Chains A and B, each alone.
Chain A
Amino acid sequence: MARARAIWVNRRILHILIIRDLKVRYSDSVLGFAWTLLDPLLLTLVYWFVFGVIVARGSIDEQPYILWLLTGILPFQWTAHVLGDSGRLLGNDAKLVTSSSLPREIWVLRSVASRFIEFLFTLPITVVFVLFFMVFTDQKVSVTWWVFVLPLAFAVQFLFNVGLGLTLSPLCMLYPDVHRIVRIFTTLYRYLSPVIYGLGTLAGVFADRGWPDWLQWVYALNPLVGILNTYHAVLFPRNTDDVVALLSLSAVLSALCFVVGWRLFRRLEPRVLKEL
Chain B
Amino acid sequence: MDTPSMDTSSPGDAPAPDQPTRVDVVDAPIAIESHELGIKFRRNRIRNRRLSDLRRPDRGRAKSEFWALRNVSFQIAQGESVGILGANGQGKSTLLKLVAGTLIPDEGWVRLVGGVAPLVNISGGFKADLTVRDNLHIVGGLHGMLRDEVEERFDDIIDFAEVGDFVDTPFRHLSSGMRTRVAFSLITSLNEPTVIIDETLSVGDQSFKRKAYERLDTMLAGGKTLFLVSHSERQLQRLCTRGIYLRKGRVQADGDIGEVLQQYNSDREMEGHPGWRGERKKARRERRQRRRAAERRAAGGLAPVSDVDLDDDDEGDDLTGKPGTPEAIGGPEARP
Q: Which residues of A contact B (CB under 8 A)?
A: 12-13, 16-17, 19-20, 23-24, 27-28, 95-102, 174-178, 269-270, 273-275
Contacts and interface: CB of A to CB of B under 8 A. Distances in A.
Contacts of A27: 129-130
- Classify chain B's interface size: 35 or more
Interface of B: 39, 41, 46-51, 53-54, 97, 100-106, 116, 118, 120-125, 127, 129-130, 134, 137-138, 141-144
B167 to A, nearest CB: 16
Contacts of B51: 175, 177-178
Contacts of B118: 99-100
Nearest to A10: B144
A273 B138 contact: no
Given A99-B118, A273-B102, A274-B41, A20 B130 contact: yes
Contact of A99 (B41, B47, B125, B134): B125
Nearest to B106: A270
Given A20-B134, A175-B54, 4 more contacts: A17-B142, A27-B129, A98-B124, A270-B105
B184 to A, nearest CB: 13
B102 A100 contact: yes
Contacts of B134: 20, 23
B121 A13 contact: no
7 contacts: A20-B127, A20-B138, A23-B134, A24-B129, A95-B123, A96-B124, A174-B49
A17 B122 CA distance: 17
A10 to B, nearest CB: 9
A95 B130 contact: no
**Which of B53, B120, B121, B142: most chain A CB closer than 10 A?**
B142
B130 A23 contact: yes
A101 B103 CA distance: 9
B125 A100 contact: yes
Contacts of A270: 103-106
A99 B48 contact: no
Given A27-B130, A270-B106, A96 B125 contact: yes
Nearest to A95: B124
B103 A16 contact: no
Nearest to A28: B129
Contacts of A17: 138, 142
A269 B34 CA distance: 20
Contacts of B39: 274
A176 B51 CA distance: 9
Contacts of B129: 24, 27-28
Contacts of B105: 270
Given A20-B127, A20-B130, A275-B47, A101 B102 contact: yes
Given A99-B121, A99-B124, A100-B118, A13 B130 contact: no
A192 B89 CA distance: 50
**Which of A19, A96, A100: most chain B CB closer than 10 A?**
A100
A176 B122 CA distance: 28
B141 A176 contact: no
Contacts of A16: 137-138, 141-142
A96 B128 CA distance: 13
